[in-house]
Structure 1
Amino acid sequence: MTDHTRIDALSPGTFTLDGEEIEFGPGDSILQAATRSGYYIPHLCWHPDFAAKGSCRLCTVRINGRIGAACAVNAASGQEVQSNTDELNAQRKTLLQMIFIEGNHFCPSCEKSGNCRLQATAYDMEMEGPHFEEFYPNRQVDASHPDLMLDLNRCILCGLCVRASHDVDGKDVFAIGGHGIQTHLLVNSPSGKLVNSAIATADRAAHICPVGAILHKRQGFATPIGQRRFDERPVSQQVGEEA
């Protein structure tokens, strides 16, 4: 990064996104500026309240012809950014298909159906099916806590619960460990179970999961299917409305 680019990243200005002029403020990433302007760039692991992690790569865009994660690249004056293209949307669809086959995502039987960002994004990207051979991994379901359930079959390793527990709750209940296909969410407790951890139902970490990995017991169908968040409007029409 040149000194000139560093100065641009710390100063307000504009860049173009799919031909439209987008204003940005000091320190904004491309995704932050786009979201503030009401422009949708698909994403799963990014949340406006936390620092970017860049793990899902669903927000990948072309910046002056080069590939980059919109959540992690600073906006700078004069950038020409492409997001809504056939090429990038095809890549996003493939990434989504890979996420679905890597875990056990059975939407019709999931309590989060209709409120799940992964499901909603797949619909928005017109993902017809998993495409690849499904892994069907054997993953833990932790129902030990009286009010919360952790289903690792649905975890997409976005890291939002990790960041929320550390940055907001100050508890470090969650971490991510392992390598490759064995990467998984860890619970910080003597038993490795939620019941022995410091998590509380009011914690931000207990509410931020974008999928059905962290669920509140006895609340799954309080809002009927068909009346849930993404049942009413597609995810691309809810820019900046992260929970």
Structure 2
Amino acid sequence: MSSFSFSIDGMEIEATSGQTIMDAADEAGIYIPRLCDHEGLRHQGSCRVCTVKANGRSVSACTQPAEPGLQVENESPHISKLRRDLVEMLFHEGNHLCPICEASGNCELQAMAYRLDMTAPTKFPYLEPCRPLDASHPDIALDTNRCISCGRCIRASQDVDGKGVFGYVGRGIHRHVAANGPNLAETNAEVTDFAMSEEVCPVGCIIRKREGFKTPIGEREFDKGLIGDKINGKRNG
């Protein structure tokens, strides 16, 4: 594979043909915020939190191919404000009650808000949707009030588990994830599926029963540092 260089915030990094901007940035140790993207899953580019400027044009870093000589802007006041607004809208579109959520401290949406200095949403009206809770399965519950339509569970179920348990229903702001059946219990979902693992859902939408609040405060993933920080040599988020 041919290699080339391009720059992110003035820093020259190496890339190979076929890599996205995010792929190359990750290899170079440069963090680009993301919510819908996850290692091992195909890129989707739906959350737009990974938006960067590439030669002056706004693109999603997880889907935009890296190119020789590309000038990428990742950390700037303009980009940070854009990302903060996007994250704030996700909070306003759902029902995210962080103090009582099982995912608090392990939630990527919550952690991203802290990284972007968004501690109290203020700009947009709360939509306060009323979405169903599916607790029919003996081991898994689905609370779509917390869904941010990242699609990670859909791709994990389709591409890794080979099942297709989840899919989108609704349009626009009413779109959310639902089980591919009358309810979750009437699908072939299993708690051991990769789609049900703690690392796939970035919020508290997919709930593994009998495991709530199992990690003490201070030992949760994002109690240890900001999302995107390197902790013990590993990339956080």
1:167 match: secondary structure: helix
Alignment check: 8 A CA contact 2:37 2:45 kept:
yes
- Segments of 4+ in structure 1 off by > 2 A? 238-242
Alignment check: 8 A CA contact 2:228 2:236 kept:
no
Aligned length: 231
Q: What TM-score, normalized to structure 2?
A: 0.94
2:54 pairs with 1:55: no
In 2: Cα distance, 1:150 partner to 1:165 partner: 14
Amino acid across the alignment from 1:76: E
* Of 58, 71, 96, the match for 2:87: 96
Which residue does 1:14 correspond to in 2? 5
In 1: Cα distance, 2:126 partner to 2:221 partner: 28
In 2: Cα distance, 1:99 partner to 1:26 partner: 34
Match runs of 1:43-192 below 5 Å? 43-131=34-122, 132-189=124-181, 191=182
Amino acid across the alignment from 1:183: R
* Of 38, 41, 54, the match for 2:29: 38
Gaps of 5+ in 2: none
In 2: Cα distance, 1:241 partner to 1:122 partner: 15
* Aligned-residue CA RMSD (Å): 1.3
In 2: Cα distance, 1:165 partner to 1:107 partner: 26
In 2: Cα distance, 1:140 partner to 1:112 partner: 18
Name which of structure 1's ranges 230-239 and 91-100 shifts more when overlaid on structure 2. 230-239
Report the identity percentage: 47
In 2: Cα distance, 1:26 partner to 1:220 partner: 43
The C-alpha deviation readout for 1:123-168, integer Å capped at 9, x for no partner, is: 0000031212111110111111111111001010000000000001
Amino acid across the alignment from 2:172: G
In 2: Cα distance, 1:218 partner to 1:203 partner: 17
Which residue does 2:17 correspond to in 1? 26
In 1: Cα distance, 2:119 partner to 2:104 partner: 17
Alignment check: 8 A CA contact 2:227 2:236 kept:
no
**Structure 1 residue 48 displacement after superposition:** 2.2
Q: What TM-score, normalized to structure 1?
A: 0.92
2:49 match: secondary structure: coil
2:169 pairs with 1:197: no
The C-alpha deviation readout for 1:97-131, integer Å capped at 9, x for no partner, is: 10000000011110000101000000000003121
Gaps of 5+ in 1: 1-9
Alignment check: 8 A CA contact 1:36 1:240 kept:
no
In 2: Cα distance, 1:59 partner to 1:172 partner: 26
The C-alpha deviation readout for 1:42-100, integer Å capped at 9, x for no partner, is: 11001121221110000100111111110110011101100100000001111111000
